[in-house]
Structure 1
Amino acid sequence: MIAPAEIIVPKLSKELYLCSLRPALKDLLLRRIKPLKEEKEEKDSDEFIIKAENDSFNIINSNNYKKDEEKENEESNAKIILINDEWPNISKFNVDKYFKILNKSRNYSLNYEFEFGSIVLYGEVVTSTQTLLDKNVKLTQKLPNGFVTLAAQQVEGRGRGKNTWISPPGCLLFSFVMRHSLNNKAAPVVFIQYLLSLAVVEAVRTEPSYKDIPLRLKWPNDIYVEKFNDSSNSPELVKIGGVLLNSHVFENEFLLIAGCGEELLASILVKFELFYKEFCENGRGFEPFFDIYYKRWLHR
């Protein structure tokens, strides 16, 4: 009898790295969240602590963060957010490459001012990128549209209902913040999860080496690939990703946290933002996307 493989739960990362396309975006973000800092903090300091509903965050300039502080920080539950005008050198996330791809993808639509993906908060191992945003709404409300959290691994990845899992190494898992007006009756919020899953598939297929991969959408939010083999005439369906959308309502808008487990982050964010812009402005909601959605639909 073969013993089941032991599941190794990786240790949560203490440090989170704040990366922005331009230093001015980082500075703007700090100004937005600074009113949330603890009263005991120095008024004019750029280093401060925020206590949100589920987590505490200690914002520190990376130049002032010393390795000999790690033991002291292990005794605190606060997450360390490291900030700097320079992009950090992270072993499992190439920040420079990410922003270059983001800019390249955006250049196809020069007449649109993009937001999504310009500011990223990265942690190597987190509970869940979705939880960081969805369970800390006090902070999330202050974050700009398109703010992204991402990780190399999750130990409490979230799905529909109460489903959780430990993600394997090698994944790029992300969530992002967006706002959707309650007054836009022509663009119902329920369709946004379909737009995101469609954006994932189409972004993957825009890559030349991936354009022939038979990706399929399973309603409402799962992404599958058709895997063919010689022993069967019908393909085997393998799930490779999914989309999760959590919502909060404040005044006249939805505050949405959208999460997904996929590669090609920059291309996905650009594709989704373009889809979302058309969805909100065309006056016909999801109707213009029917043809391409049914083309990728698993339930045909």
Structure 2
Amino acid sequence: MPPFPVRLPQAQPSSTTRAAAAAAAAVGAVIAAVALRRYLSTSRRRPSASVAMSALRSSSSSSASAATTLVAYGKSPQDQELLASAAGSVAPGEGGSAGEFAVALSYAGAGFDAGAYMGALRARRFGRWMLWSPRIGSTQDLIAQNFAKLPVGVVCVADVQFKGRGRSKNVWESPPGCLMFSFTSQMQDVRKLPLMQYVVCLSMTEAIKELCRAKGLPELDVRIKWPNDLYLKGLKVGGILCTSSYEAKLYNICTGIGLNVDNEKPSTCLNAALQEANAISPRLKREDVLAYFFNKFENLFEIFSNQGFQALEEQYYNSWLHSGQRVVVQDAHEGQSVGSVVTIQGLTPTGYLYAIGEDDKSYELHPDGNSFDFFTGLVRRKMEA
């Protein structure tokens, strides 16, 4: 499976920053309430309880039959009305997301059980508005390009993506059975932005464990591979992509997650591991995984927002793969490649890897943006003593 990581931002972010993963409405429940009032006041239309609500302007000559269907769901009827009204103005995305959107309040034969998801959702801010599509170019593109038109905390879920995105223009393979979603959030503190991806990773690993316990299933030991991949038994099962833009003293963050729940290819999946542990074990459902993720993320984000990442650091290290790991870092010196052996200690305050070399000097390790192999392609940057 190709990598699906996140680019860490530079020290001085531009107006459009590629944030290191993450997501979370730093303004909290107040933002959700403000968004609700804003959209209810500006949306005079009330959607009818019919399947097809509207066909939007198209940037191509695609026919209505080829339109992408977006089905609006909400934790409450009011939430559903809000989202349906807001979604009626979304603009087509670029590339694979371009075309017409048909907004609906229901869909015959939907592959995602929105009722089960909403029933398991306990989060108050994140995930209470959901756009679901049977097939879409990219959930990330849709919400990123329509951020201002949708409530903060909205999630877009797709059964199939044909233009799924990863880091460095990599494509995320999105077969049926994969949980694919993107959601929005906001934050103000740019210093925390690079660490947000770690909160998202931790939230998913903890959510999967908690869901297994709740269902009486063997606990799946999903681990974090720095900076933003999820691994199970040495194989990749998921990854995270975050993008952000800066506007009106706020960072608008779009977080995309792909997680192999019921699809063994191209690597492995959660249910394959459960079946291996117990052949008659019930299977995890995408709806439950998504709900448990938001339940956990909202809680961890609140801790992170109020106390900083240091309050979650020990828990994060318990979930990642790298404590005490020795790696060879490649550097160029006088035209030749020089390898340095370092031992990973943890994270730096800015979110990079902190390591100690055999010379007892401190090193800060950065991803090279291309290599999928953690053990090669890292750029060494010596820290000041």
| Equivalent residue in structure 1 for 2:304, among 262, 279, 300 | 279
Superposed counterparts of 1:141-160, under 5 Å: 141-160=148-167
Equivalent of 2:231 in 224, 231, 237: 224
User: What residue number does 2:132 align with?
Assistant: 122
2:100 to 63, 78, 95: 78
Residue 293 (structure 1) aligned to one of 311, 316, 331: 316
> Does 1:17 find its partner at 2:71?
yes
- Deviation at 1:165? 3.5
Aligned to 1:261: 258
Structure 2: distance between partners of 1:14 and 1:30: 15
Note if contact 2:72-2:83 (Cα within 8 Å) is conserved in structure 1: no
Aligned length: 227
Report whether the alignment pairs 1:92 with 2:111. Answer: yes
Q: Are the equivalent residues in 2 in contact too, given 1:199–1:272 (CA < 8 A)? A: yes
1:255-298 residue CA offsets vs partner (Å, 9 max, x unmatched) = 0000101340011011111111111112xx10011111111111
Sequence identity (%) = 30
CA distance in 2, matches of 1:51, 1:154: 18
TM-score, normalised via structure 1 length: 0.69
Q: Cα offset for 1:216?
A: 1.0
SS for the counterpart of 2:176 is coil
Distance in 2 (CA, whole Å) between partners of 1:288 and 1:15 is 42
**Deviations 1:141-170 (Å, cap 9, x if unpaired)?**
132121000111111111111101331111
Distance 1:240 1:12 in 2: 31
How much has 1:88 moved relative to structure 2? 4.7
Equivalent runs, 1:142-221 vs 2, <5 Å: 142-181=149-188, 184=189, 188-207=192-211, 208=213, 209-210=216-217, 212-221=219-228
Cα drift, residue 124 of structure 1: 1.0
Contact 2:84 2:103 in 1 (8 A): no
Alignment-derived partner of residue 241 in structure 2? 244
- Say if 1:174 and 1:53 are closer, same or farther in 2 by CA, change over 3 A: closer
C-alpha change, 1:147 and 1:90, in structure 2 (3 Å) is farther
Select which of 82, 85, 106 maps to 1:28: 82
In structure 2, C-alpha distance between the alignment counterparts of 1:89 and 1:101, rounded to whole Å = 22
Distance 1:218 1:277 in 2: 23
Structure 2 CA distance for aligned equivalents of residues 202 and 211 of structure 1 = 14
Structure 2's unaligned 5+ residue stretches are: 1-64, 260-285, 324-385
User: What is the deviation of 1:212?
Assistant: 2.5
Contact 1:246 / 1:256 at 8 angstroms: preserved in 2? yes
Maintained 8 Å contact 1:26/1:119: yes
Q: Once the 2 structures are TM-superposed, how far is the Cα of residue 30 of structure 1 from its aligned partner?
A: 5.4
Does 2:127 align with 1:101?
Answer: no
2:93, 2:141 within 8 Å by CA — same for their partners in 1?
A: no
Which amino acid in 2 is paired with 1:191?
L
- Rounded to whole Å, the distance in 1 between the matches of 2:218 and 2:317 is 17
C-alpha deviation, 1:214, in angstroms: 2.0
CA contact (8 A) 1:204 1:210 kept: no
Give the AA of the match of 2:104.
L
Contact in 2 for aligned 1:12/1:127 (Cα 8 Å): no
Compute the TM-score of the two structures, normalised by the length of structure 2: 0.55
* 3-state SS of 1:176 partner: strand
Provide the rounded CA distance (Å) in 1 between the counterparts of 2:164 and 2:139: 8
Q: Please list every run of 5 or more consecutive structure 1 residues that lacks an aligned counterpart in the other structure.
A: 1-10, 35-47, 58-75, 107-113, 227-236
Cα contact 2:80–2:129 (8 A) shared by 1: yes
Q: CA deviation at 1:52?
A: 5.4
Closer, same or farther in 2 for the Cα pair 1:159/1:188, shift >3 Å?
same
How far did 1:49 drift?
5.2
Q: In 2, Cα distance between the equivalents of 1:24 and 1:122?
A: 17
In 1, distance between residues paired with 2:181 and 2:92?
20
> Are the structure 2 counterparts of residues 122 and 30 from structure 1 closer, same or farther at C-alpha, using a change threshold of 3 Å?
closer
Q: Which amino acid aligns with 2:110?
A: S
